[in-house]
Amino acid sequence: MEIKYFRLIKTIQEEGSIANSAQKLFLTQSALSHQLRELEERLGFKVFNRVRNKWQLTDEGAELYRLGNSILDSIEKGFQNIEQLRSGSVGTIKVSTECYSFYQGLSGFIQKMGLLYPEIKVDLILEATHQPISKILSNEIDIAVVTVKPENETLSSIAIYEDEIFAIMHKENPLNKPDFLDTHDFSDAHLIIHSFPLETVSVYERYLKPNKITPLKISAIPLTEVALEMVHANMGIMCIPKWALKPFKLSDELVFKRIGKNGLKRRHYLVFREVDKAKKYINDFISNFEEEFSRK
C-alpha cells in the first residue's frame, strides 16, 4: 500500500470533510474522491462511511488509520534523524602536510569530497607545511598528513598507507649502474629537493642523516616540472614516491632506483585532535581519505 493512501486516510479523518482534505493535500475534490474510491476497490472494503455529510472510519479504516499514523510518524522521525546527521556533516576542515609533495594527490581527493559532501569545505593551508603538528595543537589547522606518529595524548593518529621513495635520474647518470643506491652513492650526488629545511626531506632525515652523509650539492626547486627537466638533463637526481609523479609525463630516458637494499619506505598518518573525533564531518573526511589513499 502506497504512503499516499495513508496520508489520504489520515487527512480525511482529521479534517472531517473532502473539501478541507483536498485543500490540505493540494488536490481537487474530484481527484481526492477518485483516489479514495481506487483505494477501496484495491482493498475490497470500505474505509469511510459517509453519515450526514460527515466521513467516519469503518472498523477496517480505523485499523488502517492507526497503522498509517505509526508509519508516517516513523518516516517523519527518520527524516528528522537524517537532518540531524546532515547538520553534523557541515563544517570547514583545514588540512596541511609535512611535505609539499603530499599535495600532489590531495587536489583530486578534495574535488571528490566537494561532490560527495558539498556541506564540507576543505582548505589546504600551505603555510602550515613542515610544521603541521604544532599548527594542529594551536588550532590553526584540523588535520595533518605526516610520516611520524606524534606522541601527544591530545592527538589521534590513523595509519593510512605506506609508500616507497625512489631515486629518479637520467639513464646515463653514473648512479644508474648499481642495482640500488647506498648511502655513499649520495656523497658525490647533486640532490634536487622541493624545499628546505633538510629535516623535512625524507631521504635525508631517514637515510642520509643517520649515516652522517650529506650530498655534494643540494638544490631546492619548488616546481616539480622544473626539477624533472633538470633530472632529464642529467643535472641531478630527485628522491620521490612514484605516486607523486603520476600527474606528469615522464621521459623514457628517466629511470627509478631503489634507495637501500630493502627500499626506503615510510608510513603515512592522518593526525587530528582527539576532541574532534565526535564531529561527523571530520569522520566523513577521514573515512573517505582512508578509502582513497589505501589504494596507493
Classify strands 264-273 and 190-193 as parallel, antiparallel or unpaired.
unpaired
Query: Does residue 296 have a pLDDT over 60?
Result: no
Please choose, from the candidates 129, 123, 103, the residue with its C-alpha nearest in 3D space to the C-alpha of residue 223.
103
Query: Does residue 293 have a pLDDT over 60?
Result: yes
Which residues have a Cβ under 8 Å from the Cβ of 188 and sit 6 or more positions away?
A: 216
Domains of the chain: 3-87 (1.10.10.10), 100-296 (3.40.190.290)
pLDDT in tens, 103-144: 877 888 999 999 999 889 999 999 999 899 999 999 999 999
User: Do residues 95 and 123 lie in contact, with contact meaning Cβ atoms separated by under 8 Å?
Assistant: yes
Using the structure block, give the residue that is written with the C-alpha cell 584540523. Answer: 142
pLDDT in tens, 190-233: 999 999 989 889 999 999 999 999 999 999 999 999 999 999 99
pLDDT in tens, 2-49: 899 999 999 999 998 888 999 999 999 999 999 999 999 999 999 999
Within a 10 A sphere around the Cβ of 37, how many other Cβ atoms?
Answer: 10
Taking residues 160-182, report their average pLDDT: 96
- Which helix H or strand E contains 160, and what residues bound it? strand 155-170
**Length in residues, the chain:** 296
User: Do residues 168 and 264 lie in contact, with contact meaning Cβ atoms separated by under 8 Å?
Assistant: no
Amino acid at 4: K
Please choose, from the candidates 245, 108, 95, 104, the residue with its C-alpha nearest in 3D space to the C-alpha of residue 167.
245
Query: Does residue 51 have a pLDDT over 70?
Result: yes
pLDDT at 86: 63
pLDDT in tens, 227-280: 999 999 999 999 999 988 988 999 999 999 999 999 999 999 999 999 998 888
Distance of CA 275 to the CA centre of its chain: 19
Please choose, from the candidates 135, 95, 82, the residue with its C-alpha nearest in 3D space to the C-alpha of residue 288.
95
Please choose, from the candidates 257, 259, 273, 268, the residue with its C-alpha nearest in 3D space to the C-alpha of residue 293.
268
pLDDT in tens, 66-83: 999 999 999 988 887 777
